[in-house]
């Protein structure tokens, strides 16, 4: 369903018993966007039961009283911040699904929460929903479609990864597979969580009708983009791939990186990150099973690309 359709056609009942929590991590440097996001969350039809905002090295003045605030003394990174918010939701055990949102995003559809509730209520095997990220004009960049066949961003599908800026994850999934990988800091953390969830038997759905509006950006705007992208891909392979697939996966991505013709400074940073990925500890190694590899292959994205 698209924004603006007849409200009578929107989900109302199926997910009534699914309790939602929202986690937003902010550094306080996008006050206008953050305020708009929070308003779009609080004005949902049947809004989420809990909203937790984590200030990553920043104060959080002026929040509505019903919004839970956690102010960290320093910037611990997006993923550690999300884990802090996740722990806050777990503390009371009253939330079934956590929605993670970028602080400069926006929920343009007031029935977003209802759609998330319905999806999880009607499919017990569903572990993660990947929202569609669209810019102010409604367009979705190719990199924001979490599958190889990305020419039609309006086609829903089962996928093997998801988008970090807008997603919903069943709390049981995180309890089973563990939290966000804090050492990654940023880049490919979604794939790390996705591979663990798939190996545990959960499904991941890309839902283009569930939209996070987000300004059009390029990932290369981050100074650490090339280094962390390379380092974390090595960590992904070391942590989760069967040994025989590790050189194939990393070789394919090295070739793709070269074919994309990054600037010399970017390629230099990429090489430094690649080396760092081998030198630095990546966390425990728990290779996915071959049946998971086959399942990912049948879904159109074998874990070599």
CA distance 146 to 300: 11
* Domain region containing 241: 222-298
Q: Are residues 140 and 24 in the same domain?
A: yes
Q: Are residues 258 and 132 in the same domain?
A: no
pLDDT at res. 247 = 98
Instruction: For residue range 248-280, list pLDDT tens digits in order.
Output: 999 999 999 999 999 999 999 999 999 999 999
Give how far the C-alpha of residue 156 lies from the chain's centroid of Cα atoms, to the nearest Å: 17
| Residue 131 in domain | yes
Provide mean pLDDT across the span 199-205: 98
pLDDT at res. 6 = 43
Q: Are residues 235 and 144 in the same domain?
A: no
Query: Would you call 55 helix, strand, or coil by DSSP?
Result: strand
Q: Are residues 211 and 284 in the same domain?
A: no
* Contact indicator for 290, 283 with CB cutoff of 8 Å: no
Query: Nearest 5°: CA angle at 20, between 132 and 136?
Result: 30
DSSP 98: E
| Residue 113 in domain | yes
Q: Are residues 132 and 242 in the same domain?
A: no
Instruction: For residue range 99-151, list pLDDT tens digits in order.
Output: 999 999 999 999 999 999 999 999 999 999 999 999 999 999 999 999 999 99
**Positive or negative, the Cα torsion across 144, 148, 252, 188?**
positive
pLDDT at res. 226 = 94
Q: Are residues 84 and 153 in the same domain?
A: yes
Number of domains comprising the chain: 2
Q: Are residues 178 and 158 in the same domain?
A: yes
pLDDT at res. 4 = 40
CA Rg, the chain, in Å? 19
| Residue 1 in domain | no
Residue 292 has pLDDT above 70, yes or no: yes
Structure token pair of residue 135: 């810019």
Domain final residue pick, 195, 217, 239: 217
pLDDT at res. 10 = 55
* pLDDT averaged over every residue in the chain: 93
Instruction: For residue range 147-175, list pLDDT tens digits in order.
Output: 999 999 999 999 999 999 999 999 999 99
Q: Are residues 210 and 238 in the same domain?
A: no
């Amino acid at each position: 369903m698209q924004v603006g359709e007849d409200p009578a056609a929107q989900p109302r009942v199926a997910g009534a018993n699914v309790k939602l929590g929202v986690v937003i991590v902010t550094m306080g440097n996008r006050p206008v966007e953050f305020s708009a996001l929070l308003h779009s969350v609080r004005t949902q039809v049947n809004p989420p039961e809990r909203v937790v905002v984590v200030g990553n090295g920043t104060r959080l003045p002026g929040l509505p009283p019903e919004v839970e605030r956690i102010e960290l003394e320093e910037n611990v990174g997006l993923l550690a911040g999300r884990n802090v918010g996740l722990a806050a939701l777990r503390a009371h055990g009253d939330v079934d699904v956590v929605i993670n949102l970028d602080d400069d995003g926006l929920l343009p559809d007031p029935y977003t929460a209802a759609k998330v509730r319905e999806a999880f209520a009607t499919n017990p095997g569903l572990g993660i929903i990947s929202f569609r990220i669209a810019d102010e004009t409604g367009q979705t960049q190719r990199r924001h479609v979490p599958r190889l066949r990305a020419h039609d961003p309006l086609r829903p599908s089962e996928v093997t990864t998801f988008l970090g800026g807008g997603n919903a994850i069943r709390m049981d999934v995180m309890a089973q597979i563990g939290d966000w990988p804090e050492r990654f800091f940023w880049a490919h953390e979604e794939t790390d969580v996705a591979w663990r969830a798939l190996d545990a038997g959960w499904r991941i759905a890309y839902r283009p009708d569930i939209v996070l509006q987000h300004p059009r950006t390029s990932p290369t705007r981050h100074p650490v983009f090339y280094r962390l992208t390379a380092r974390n891909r090595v960590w992904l392979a070391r942590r989760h791939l069967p040994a025989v697939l590790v050189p194939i996966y990393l070789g394919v991505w090295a070739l793709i990186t070269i074919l994309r013709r990054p600037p010399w400074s970017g390629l230099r940073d990429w090489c430094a990150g690649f080396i760092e990925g081998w030198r630095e500890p990546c966390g425990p190694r728990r290779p996915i099973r071959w049946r998971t590899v086959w399942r990912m292959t049948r879904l159109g994205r074998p874990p070599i690309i």
